[in-house]
Structures are given as C-alpha cells and as structure tokens.
Chains A and B, each alone.
Chain A
Amino acid sequence: MEFKDYYAILGIEHNATQDEVKRAYRKLARKYHPDINKAADAEQRFKEIGEAYEVLQDIEKRAAYDKFGTNWQAGEEFKPPPDWDTGFEFQGGGYTQADASQFSDFFESLFGGRSEFSHRESFEEHPSFYGRGQDLHAKIIISLEDSFHGSKQTLTLQRPSVDAHGHVFTSPHTLQVTIPKGVTEGQRIRLEGQGGSGRGKGANGDLYLEITLALHPYFTVDKRDLMLTLPITPWEAALGATVQVPTLGGTVELKIPPNAQTGKKMRLKGRGLCSAKVSGDQYVTLAIMTPRPKSSEDRELYRKMAEAMPFNPRRHLGVTA
C-alpha cells in the first residue's frame, strides 16, 4: 500500500490552519470536479482531494495522521504500525458527506476498519432486509468506429454484494455487452439485472453504462454528426472535381462544384452516427491548399496566373491592392 501525502494533495503546509485546509479543499474541489474539468485524470484527482480533506478537516483524524510525521514520501510502501491509533476515537462524527467507498486502501487501513461508515450510504434507499439490489453506474469509452458499426465490449466491474451476515463486499464481475450502433456521447444504456445483487428475494439492480466517445485522429463529433476538414487543390476548387472522402463506413466520392471556396460546408447524408431510429450526417468543410512552388517553372506558372487573372480578395476590406 502506498503512503498518501494528504498535505501535498491539498497543496498546503503541515502547519496550515483548519480554515486554510477548508479553503484549499474548496478551491481544488471546484477546479477538479469531474463535471467541470474534462481532463482524463480529473475524477481521480477529485477523489484524492476529497479523501485528503476527509482526514485533514477533522482535528482528531488529522492529529492521528500527523503522528506519521514528515518522514513518509508519497507513493512509498506503507504499513500502519500496530496500535498506531491508540487514544483516538473516530466514531464521534466528523465525517464529511463524501462517499467513503471511493477512498483509497491507505485511507481504509487507517480509518476504515472499525466502523460501518464506509458503505453506510450504499443501501440507505432500501433499508428493509429484502431489498432490490443497488443500481450501478459505469462509464465506458468507445471508438467512433465502434459507435458507427456497433460492437461487443468486455467489461470488468466491481459489484457490491451482501453476504449472509449483512456485510457488504465487492467482487469483480466480467460482462460481455453488445453496444448497439449509433450510440453518442453522454448517452445511457441500461442493462437489466446487472447491478448489485438483491437481498433475500429482492431483484438485482440495473447497470447503467454512460458512453464516452474516444477522440478520433480526423473526425470530430457534434451529437450524431461527424465533421471533417477536407483539403482540396486550387484547381479542384476552381473547376470542380470528384474527390475521395473518408467516412467511418469507407471511402466515398464527393462532387465538388466549380468555384468552391475554403470554408464551404458539404453534407454527406446519413454518414454520421446512425442508430436504428435516428440518423446523423457527415459534414465536410473544404480547405484549399496552395501548392508550394518547388522550381522556377512552378514560380513562372504562378506569375502567369497573376497576369492572366487579376484578383483582389481584399476588396471588401477597403484596400485596393
């Protein structure tokens, strides 16, 4: 088990006052809240911050933690000494509203062993002994290709169960799920009966999967529509041409009309993320790329164009040349 430096996590000194602890926590909690911060590690950071605050906001827990002093480095292999907590009582309140089941093993080994608090929230909705199992929520990241075609995904989840004595334990659970085609960012899929086990004759809870779409090297997504910037040559733009465009379903041909300009948006109908009921499109935005002249002949060609086709693209800016 790794030692966790709660002071470093909150970015405060060991002699910080309780007010400073609270301020540091609130500031970081706002910054790293996973609904606000889209960085991949935001959720992990938010949990760590919550755990650090859980310990440092409570004078007793903080004093107990401080007994380890500053000799420990974050990440160092750690085992609490026997009887380290003699003289401390943690039951007397002082726990925050945080979901303690999210905390680390380090926290669990120091403060979690003696009381039932770590899972106290899990079953509050169903206090009777025969109850429906808990609904579970998980996130799943899938590629645009998998959304476009539909896919089978193998998931491993920690599923809480209750043993014959009423104790909560978690066990890994592997599922193979079919993700239908056309799922989009933030969408939910409910898997019936795949949540926490029911107690007694209670039915199992459900498992909700929230879809996150992975970034793609050249497509971006807006709901069901795919966006692509397509480079074209000046002569394709001027004369019109049929060019190849990648789509998630393979290459298609797109007819570019004559006199096309950079920024022109064209729609490939039904080439977006389509489900059984709703369809999406692919939008192609044209971008004219000018070839770099590599020889004196190339430069001569450009000069000929300048002479034969005088053109002032800056006229609307009120300049004459």
Chain B
Amino acid sequence: MKTDIQYTVFDETSAYCLKDLCRLCRVHAQFIHDLIDEGILSPQGTDPRDWRFGAVEIKRIEISVRLQKDLHINLAGAALALDLLEEIEELRSSRSLLEQFHSLEKRD
C-alpha cells in the first residue's frame, strides 16, 4: 500500500486548453468543435489556440459521449438533455431545502 501518490485536483479554478481537454476526456478535437457549435461547451477566448475550458465542461463532454453511445442521441438531443438535467438539479436542491422546512412541522 502506497501513501505518497501524486495527485491533481480539478476544480472550478482549473482551466484547460483544447489538447488537455481531448486527452482528459479521450475525444477528438473535432468532437469538441461539434459540441461548441451545438452550444454544449462555451470556452473562453475566440481563437481555438486560446480556448480555455473549465472543469465543469469535462462533465458536459462525458455526459454527451455517454448519451450518444448508450442511447443513440444526437448532439442536439444531448444539448437538450444536458439543459434539462441542469434544471432538474436546481429544482432538486431547492426542493430539498423546502423539505427541510416542512420537516420542522413534524419535529415540534
């Protein structure tokens, strides 16, 4: 068992160039271009050489890959699913706050 393992944390402060992103997500640069065209990714910077992607984009790429592969959804469909999933996530977290609130009634 080893304890000194080198690690890198990817959080909201991490930024990747196109090349890093392709390696990290195991996809081709063309796929990233397609995702940008579909509005799934929105990198900072105008020229592809200056593009910088945030850590949250990794998740969007991975979900797009899986939805395409597992459910045969095209990119427009994946974009819609991603938007809806984000909305569901927000609703879930506000619902859990409301539930906290309602559970107070029973506790008194």
Q: Which A residues contact B (CB, under 8 angstroms)?
A: 26, 29-30, 33, 35-36, 38, 46, 50, 97, 125, 135, 154, 174-178, 180, 182-184, 186-194, 218, 220-223, 227-229, 231, 275, 277-278, 285, 287, 289, 291-292
Contact = CB atoms under 8 A, between A and B. Distances in A.
Given A220-B97, A229-B104, A287-B101, A189 B67 contact: no
B6 interface: yes
Interface residues of B, number: 33
Contact of B104 (A46, A277, A289, A292): A289
B7 A187 contact: no
B7 A191 contact: yes
Contact of B26 (A38, A135, A229, A231): A135
Interface string B49-80: 00000010011000100110111000000000
A177 B96 CA distance: 31
B10 A189 contact: yes
Contacts of B107: 231
Contact of A231 (B7, B9, B58, B104): B104
B68 to A, nearest CB: 10
Given A183-B9, A231-B107, 12 more contacts: A29-B70, A29-B71, A30-B71, A188-B9, A188-B10, A192-B6, A220-B96, A227-B97, A227-B100, A229-B104, A278-B12, A285-B101
B55 A35 contact: no
A187 B69 contact: no
B3 interface: yes
Contact of A278 (B11, B69, B97): B11
B108 interface: yes
Summarize B's interface: helix, strand, loop or mixed: helix
Contact of A97 (B26, B69, B93, B96): B69
A176 B7 contact: no
A177 B107 CA distance: 40
B26 A174 contact: no
A229 B105 CA distance: 12
B59 A175 contact: no
Contacts of B85: 35-36
Return the 6 tightest CB-CB contacts between A and B, nearest first: A192-B6, A229-B100, A188-B10, A190-B8, A35-B63, A220-B96
Given A188-B58, A289-B108, A193 B6 contact: yes
Interface in B1-44: 1-3, 5-13, 26
Nearest to B11: A187
23 contacts: A26-B71, A30-B71, A33-B67, A35-B63, A35-B66, A35-B67, A36-B81, A154-B1, A177-B5, A186-B59, A188-B10, A188-B55, A190-B10, A191-B5, A192-B6, A194-B5, A218-B100, A223-B12, A228-B100, A231-B107, A275-B9, A285-B101, A287-B104
Contacts of B81: 36
